Amino acid sequence: MSEKRSIFEEVDTSDASSKKVKNNVEIIDSNKALQIWLLVLFALVAAMIVVGGLTRLTDSGLSITEWKPLTGALPPLSLEIWQLEFDKYKTIPEFNIQNKAMTLSEFKTIYWWEWGHRQLGRIVGIVWLIGFIWLALVKKLTNLWITRSLIIGGLGGLQGAIGWWMVSSGLSGRMVDVASYRLAVHLGLAFLILTLITWYLFQTNINDQEKIRSRRERDKSLVPLVNILLGVVFLQIIVGALVAGIDAGRGYTDWPLMNGEFLPSESFDYQPILINFTENPALVQFNHRVVGYLTVLYTIFVWWRCRSSSFSVTVKKANLVCLMMFVQMMMGIATVIYAAPLGWAIVHQFGAIIIVLLVQSLRSQVYFPTRQSFKV
């Protein structure tokens, strides 16, 4: 029978405290490993978007006419193989209509761009797979994080298939570029993956207690506003992809008008009429401009609403979003005025990545108004 303990006897809590500290350390270590993995994936997907933009701007996307996810990882290693790849390229409309005078040396340049873009895709897949397996084996992933990780991996695999679906649209008929709507789907999915990774990254430092407290403290009126902002930004990215797909940014180089008109008179010249929204350079660029103006105006409205927030971090992050939106608009105008040179166009596309990051940072702060280790 155990002895009775005096009410004045000290209770040794060292074991309980040490266990609590140990558990906290394990949680921090687990989150840190997850954070590093997500950060690497974010950097790689962002690089994919930039390299994909450069591949498009250099007209390199149709240089590889086959889809070989595994064997295609090796580039041509001999002159004979290079010539074989060049001969395949000579069978497609882009060469016969647009690049008939291209030399083997010039072909190698565009080939390396497309090969590098595909290789980055393979690296993203490998990093995701190795990271997911390791984190799962060492039990650093909860069921929720397993689901989230599988969503990222599944979308990544789908992105590879959509990439080939896009490329295949330019290999036959009289197409000298890929179909613009397929490019928009491809780029849109890339930004969706980036958006999810960013959101998940901001969740890694938010525990259950903070989530419960956040539900009580958050400004619920801001939640739908920042969600709509993300949707508007995403719409503008899709419309921008349509501009890129048909080089619509190079046809109307004045601003704020377009060839002296608000809406170019040739905006609905194509038949059937719906095709103008994806294939007519006049209407496609007009839509990108209008959605851009609306995006800036709505951003100003969200910024104005966030100014009244009781959380200073919310105000600061709204300031950053608004500032970057103005910078992006100015870069867009400069890109149009200078007829979309490679440098301006790719900086403009990179600006979209920064905006997505900042908007997600603001959304995370609105949903979970707590101090986080990830501050943008």
Q: What is the mean pLDDT of residues 323-338?
A: 95
* 299: its two tokens: 């951003």
- The Cα–Cα gap between 205 and 255 comes to 45
CB 94 within 8 A of CB 177: yes
**Residue 287's pLDDT is what?**
96
Q: Is the pLDDT of residue 214 over 80?
A: no
Q: What is the mean pLDDT of residues 57-80?
A: 88
The pLDDT confidence band at residue 10, using thresholds 50, 70 and 90, is low
Nearest to 291 by CA among 332, 319, 261, 345: 332
The pLDDT confidence band at residue 208, using thresholds 50, 70 and 90, is confident
- The Cα–Cα gap between 335 and 342 comes to 9
Q: Is the pLDDT of residue 84 over 50?
A: yes
Q: Residue type for 336, please?
A: V
- The Cα–Cα gap between 285 and 248 comes to 6
pLDDT, averaged across the chain = 88
Q: What is the mean pLDDT of residues 146-162?
A: 95
Per-residue pLDDT tens over the stretch 346-364: 999 999 999 999 999 999 9
Per-residue pLDDT tens over the stretch 255-297: 999 999 999 999 999 999 999 999 999 999 999 999 999 999 9
Long-range Cβ contacts of 145-150 (<8 Å, 24+ apart): 145/34, 148/196, 148/200
Rg (CA), the chain: 25
- The Cα–Cα gap between 325 and 299 comes to 8
Percent of the chain with pLDDT over 90: 66
Q: Is the pLDDT of residue 3 over 60?
A: no
The pLDDT confidence band at residue 19, using thresholds 50, 70 and 90, is very low
Q: What is the mean pLDDT of residues 90-114?
A: 91
**Residue 226's pLDDT is what?**
97
**Residue 172's pLDDT is what?**
84
**Residue 373's pLDDT is what?**
37
Higher pLDDT, 50 or 32: 50
Q: Residue type for 228, please?
A: I
Per-residue pLDDT tens over the stretch 43-64: 999 999 999 999 998 989 899 9
Q: Is the pLDDT of residue 16 over 70?
A: no
User: Dihedral sign, CA of 249, 251, 256, 258?
Assistant: negative
Q: Which range among 4-8, 114-118, 176-180, 275-279 shows the weakest confidence by mean pLDDT?
A: 4-8
- The Cα–Cα gap between 38 and 127 comes to 10
Q: Which residues pair with 258 in a beta bridge?
A: 261
Per-residue pLDDT tens over the stretch 164-202: 999 998 888 777 788 889 999 999 999 999 999 999 999
Q: What angle do helix axes 180-203 and 14-57 make, rounded to 10 degrees?
A: 160
Q: What is the mean pLDDT of residues 121-138?
A: 94
